[in-house]
A and B are shown apart, each in its own frame.
Chain A
Amino acid sequence: MGRTGEKIILDGKGVERVLTRLTHEILEKNRGASDIVLVGVALGGVPLSGVIRQNIKNIEGIEVPVGVVDITLYRDDLGKVGHQARLKRTEIPFSVDDKRVVLVDDVLYTGRTIRAAMDALIDLGRPKNIQLAVLVDRGHRELPIRADYVGRNIPTAQSEEVEVCLDEKTETWRVVLREGAPDKGE
């Protein structure tokens, strides 16, 4: 337990197990890893997509391409969020045409980030399909969007905050639910 009102939902081992299951689900649904590309949503989805890639390599012996999509330029709240957001970088150094693109994000919340990520992907080419893998689905959708692969469904209040953190030194994960933090969106 950390600060008061903080609850650990998944520890390092737990996150690893969940990601292993998600990897198997992805491979099962797509009958292998051919034509699959992983795209992490900056910033939270990026390290997760790296883990899934490694898992696929361990299971199938195939190295699937991994990219990063930054959705800032596709946001629908430009100019409404106090200050201008710092841009990250979209890095998808391969064609997404006719690929099965698995979008990877840490927390699925309103769905607005995923809407923006899909628009960004479609500007880059014409994928065969787009699938969504998330570590945590916390509900409160504002758009008709659903994930294909869900690590954990966590019922939350909108006033609560879900944080997925990666300790870079020990390479251990943690998923934390906090109370009362101001709602900052996904």
Chain B
Amino acid sequence: MDWKRKHILGLSDFLPDEIEFVMDTSRSMEEVLSRDIKKVPTLRGKMVVNLFFEPSTRTRTSFEIAGKRLSADVVNFSSSGSSQSKGETLLDTARNIEAMKPCILVMRHNASGAARFLSRHLSCSIINAGDGLNEHPSQALLDLYTILKVKGKVAGLKVAIIGDILHSRVARSNIHCLGKMGANLWLCGPATLLPREMARTGATLTNDIREAVKNADVVMTLRVQSERQKATFFPSIREYFRMYGLSNNIFSLAKDDAILMHPGPINRGVEVTNDLADCGRSVILNQVESGVAVRMALLYLMAGGAHVAD
């Protein structure tokens, strides 16, 4: 298979072969990260711009490290203290950055579709690092990578995604990604945060966390996205935790070798209990570790190829 994509905007139109290709490339990148000198000259002379209009620690740092490991020049741009606060439009900001000749623009924005919008107006490659409620493809790919690394496969595994499905771009990308790779997906949350349309993806929907976690191979809890919740979706944080928080009691319903995942940042005592987040079956930090290898793979794939010539 040849890699032909110029942008990574979302996983909804990815083919399983392309996802496999990214996984395979990521494994090679992991080998680079295991060396004493964790750097290769692949992207020398190329510039990667991180354009983040929303707060981010993990994703931005992860892309920055990934770029530096490949010898790219990485420039970070965050909206606080930028011209955006002086009233510049997104397109103007992006065009100004493009004038400085980046090879790849990694962007996060609170509007769904922002990455696709810019991809129509700019000539550089764009990697969507989260757009509103839409997608966060690199997170889903690193989640898949983590599952494959621990479990050896994903097809046929029961994966339960629990929490604020409505506001979660991580959930949407994971539903595309894990669904295409043959996982048996269960989505669980309070009725107000679990859109019925999600049933069209082939996933099983439930409001009962016990049913979702029972015999699961992978349990993924999502952050309660308070900043996106413009109305009241549940009575109180305490009640949310009682109904949908993951405790030892609930997690024990999953298979004995089940793993616990969370895209971060964790609200301890809301989505998951303190001790469970730190337990041996939690792969939350493995997810962060996988992130660098997977993002190196994405930068590598974006920086070459036929599209560079056009």
**Contact present for A123 and B35 (CB under 8 Å):** yes
Closest Cβ of chain B to A82, distance in Å, is 5
State which residues 61-117 of B face A: CB under 8 Å. 70
Q: A73-B40, A73-B42, A119-B41 are in contact. Are A84 and B305 (CB under 8 A)?
A: yes
Q: A86-B24, A87-B24, A123-B39 are in contact. Are A79 and B31 (CB under 8 A)?
A: no
Q: Which of A78, A91, A125 has the most CB of B within 10 A?
A: A78
Q: A73-B42, A78-B42, A124-B37 are in contact. Are A84 and B304 (CB under 8 A)?
A: yes
Q: Which residues of B sit under 8 angstroms from A87, Cβ to Cβ? A: 24-25, 28-29, 300
Asked if B301 CB lies within 8 Å of chain A CBs, one says yes
Q: Which residues of A sit under 8 angstroms from B281, Cβ to Cβ? A: none
Asked if A89 CB lies within 8 Å of chain B CBs, one says yes
State which residues 48-86 of A face B: CB under 8 Å. 70, 72-75, 78-86
Q: Which residues of B sit under 8 angstroms from A73, Cβ to Cβ? A: 28, 32, 40-42, 70, 300
| Total number of residue pairs linking A and B with CB closer than 8 Å | 67
- A selection of 25 A-B contacts at a CB cut-off of 8 Å is A70-B28, A72-B28, A73-B32, A73-B40, A73-B300, A74-B41, A78-B42, A78-B43, A78-B303, A80-B308, A83-B2, A83-B305, A84-B2, A84-B3, A84-B301, A86-B21, A86-B24, A87-B28, A87-B300, A88-B28, A90-B32, A119-B41, A123-B37, A124-B36, A125-B36
A80 to B308, CA, bound (A): 8
Q: A79-B305, A83-B4, A84-B305 are in contact. Are A124 and B42 (CB under 8 A)?
A: no
Residues on A facing B (Cβ under 8 Å)? 70, 72-75, 78-91, 119-120, 123-125
A86 to B28, CA, bound (A): 10
Closest Cβ of chain A to B125, distance in Å, is 11
A21 to B308, CA, bound (A): 46
State which residues 177-191 of B face A: CB under 8 Å. none
**Contact present for B39 and A78 (CB under 8 Å):** no
Asked if B306 CB lies within 8 Å of chain A CBs, one says yes
B interface residues, tally (CB under 8 Å):
29
Contact with A along B294-310 (1 / 0, CB 8 A): 00000011011110110
Asked if B210 CB lies within 8 Å of chain A CBs, one says no
**Contact present for A79 and B41 (CB under 8 Å):** no
Contact with A along B261-277 (1 / 0, CB 8 A): 00000000000000000
**Contact present for A74 and B305 (CB under 8 Å):** no
Residue on A with the closest CB to B38?
A: A123
**Contact present for B305 and A82 (CB under 8 Å):** yes
Asked if B255 CB lies within 8 Å of chain A CBs, one says no
Closest Cβ of chain A to B299, distance in Å, is 11
Q: Which residues of B sit under 8 angstroms from A81, Cβ to Cβ? A: 304
**Contact present for A89 and B31 (CB under 8 Å):** yes
Closest Cβ of chain A to B304, distance in Å, is 4
**Contact present for B25 and A83 (CB under 8 Å):** no
Q: Which of A73, A89, A124 has the most CB of B within 10 A?
A: A73
Q: Which residues of A sit under 8 angstroms from B42, Cβ to Cβ? A: 73-75, 78
State which residues 16-51 of B face A: CB under 8 Å. 21, 24-25, 27-29, 31-32, 35-37, 39-43
Q: Which 5 A-B pairs have the closest CB atoms?
A: A87-B28, A83-B2, A84-B304, A79-B304, A73-B40
